[in-house]
Amino acid sequence: MSGKNGDLPILPGATLGVLGGGQLGRMFAHAAQRMGYFTAVLDPDTDSPAGRVSHHHIHTDYDDVDGLARLAGLADAVTTEFENVPAPSLEHLAVARPVSPAAPAIAIAQDRIAEKAHFTRCGVPCAPYAVIETAAQLAAIDDNLLPGILKTARLGYDGKGQQRVKTRDELVDAWQAAGCVPCVLEKMLPLEFECSVILARGRDGQIVHFPPQRNLHRDGILAVTEVHAQNMPKTVAQGAINSAKSIANGLGYVGVLCVEFFALADGSLVVNEMAPRPHNSGHYTMEACDVSQFELQVRTLAGLPLAAPRQHSPAIMLNLLGDLWFPGGADNKADKPVAPRWSEVLALPGAHLHLYGKIEPRRGRKMGHLTLTGATLEAVRATASQAALLLGLPAVATADLA
């Protein structure tokens, strides 16, 4: 293994660190440990999913200087599992250790205004939008941007910080309800479907990527991902890949990056947002590909060669929220969680259950995911429909994604 002097590659036997103890950090830790690395997690939650499976768990805030020093003392290189860690903390760690993705990329992903400016610099089209930071900018909004979606510039994810507005009066009310913080107003466009591309870029600029994923969101949260050769037109898939590469190259990015797109009714693509980390829509890669997104995260962090991933099975991923533990929905006044029908689900062929080690199920909380794989797309769709029925999820596959 290499020493703690920044030399690459960092070989198995070394320790890899991660800021953030959620499920993405947990799956990163599992991938790193499988490859022979030790892992260290910094997260303030003593029961964090990643911290509970890691060799070291530092219980401090992300900007705690002593905690960061302890992480730098343990880890040979450091990554992050979500984009809302303080960018200055990554800058602080980068003085002593290789850090990927780097602080500037994280800072751009934390700010929709900066993010859209970066997309534009890279020649990747966005939906028509306007920045609203002042009352004067609000008053000057072009009526052609309505109806639209008002999004806070910072700390918005999974539909949070977003409001649909149809009229100028609704826009004013929404901005005031958001606290008059900096926002972006995006014009609503006629969507055909949503998709994403997950790629990995090394320090030498090499890029490998997974097949584009076709996604379905409910209430702003990813619900279903379907990945196979027929999930979208080839021209759309190639356009998404090319755009994602341009965005990564424009950042000088190192690490795993997900870029989400809207496919429009006229066959064109507009970029929605990027996530500088592994992504829910890539969870299927653990079973359906020969290299997972988490292994690529390990490889980019450690400076190891990047193997182009190959998908060997069609796959559908179902996101599992805490609502499944409350089968009565809003009518369940007792509010007592009931375990879903795991035994019946796991009796289905090609069913792969991942639960994230979160002790308390809550409505809207991401508790796990279920990936269905099989020899044919028809078989996977049939199994996914059975799984959805057993779990009390809305119907999936052909109705939603075909």
- Please say whether the dihedral angle defined by the alpha carbons of residues 355, 357, 362 and 364, taken in this order, is positive or negative: negative
Q: Which helix (H) or strand (E) holds 173?
A: helix 168-177
**Residues marked as binding?**
112, 151, 156-162, 186-189, 194, 217, 272-273
Please tell me the distance from the alpha carbon of residue 53 to that of residue 360, in angstroms, as a whole number.
17
Instruction: Write the DSSP assignment of 122-172 as a string of letters.
Output: TT--B--EEEE-SHHHHHT--GGG-SEEEEESBS--TTTTEEEE-SHHHHH
Q: What are φ and ψ of residue 338, in 5° steps?
A: -125, 130
CA 29, distance to chain mean position in Å, is 16
Residue the block writes with tokens 């309505």: 146
Please state the residue numbers annotated as binding site for ATP.
112, 151, 156-162, 186-189, 194, 217, 272-273
Task: Could you list the beta-strand ranges (E) of 238-297.
Answer: 255-264, 269-275
Task: Please choose, from the candidates 349, 336, 353, the residue with its C-alpha nearest in 3D space to the C-alpha of residue 391.
Answer: 353
Q: CA-CA distance, 192 to 370, in Å (whole number)?
A: 25
